[in-house]
Structure 1
């Protein structure tokens, strides 16, 4: 029997799916250094978007203990902002000395403390994770921008609100939309009147059955006319077609 993936492996694999939406979980969740005892000094990007081993490859090649932690190199026992190194041989001049000076400059404001290392989420100012914050980020990345703000009418059932929202985005499964998505149907013509293609405009306005209903609604509400276009909606058509009652 094939073993199931562990929960952590499933979570890590989510990053490859989210990368298609330009979302990098490694940039959202990061470690906040406390005592530095659980964070890899060289192999984790705890000081920015890159690891120290990629920024300073010559120094990493000289490191005697490549799995060292932040606490091994930035240790409170040796005083504030002290750095403890373990090189295979002494640092030479040239590139090695230059990289060491750059590394010390990068570490100048780093100081460990006695608190444990923690995870922080940068989706909000409180640095705490919430499903809604991540959902908003995902929606903003994958959903098409729409200049019109979605307004929900709490008086109407939720299915009517969703239907109106999909109508405004032209996402209803009309025959024209199904054909545009490669679904094989025998005809794109309106099954009610067979006089035109079944688009949103025809289905909700132009078809003789829809026009008859609109005339009755207009008479019932005491209106002189009813909306004739879905693509260029007046305030009246927004109220009638999309149920966006102010």
Structure 2
């Protein structure tokens, strides 16, 4: 399962037949991962490693010969989306005057909410953002219109093709 979730990491591992048990061990109250890479981790592979570290650090091994899941961000050790939403609000909404809880809008599909969030957080894989993360491309120009550099603004608003889509949306 980890191999499917973290494909870049598994491809960059020198030992392609490595098992989780052979590279991850519990020592001195923390997880220790021993990996040998084919090359330095950059871009998405580095992001995958950080994601895996977060997942591993969210679980603690308790007792002798007894593994149980424990979410260290909750006082009772049980994961809940409500607690996660509260923690996200706590970290991102610093100014209490403007504090509003993160709520799901049931009228908007979650794919749309996620897409909007990614646009607002500059997490769309447009060419300029990929270039900032060290991913090599032949050009950072828009592959659809080739009129300008492909930025989030260009892709969402200024590209001739996106303008056509927006005009069709607003005609309805």
TM-score by length of 1: 0.35
Larger Rg: 1
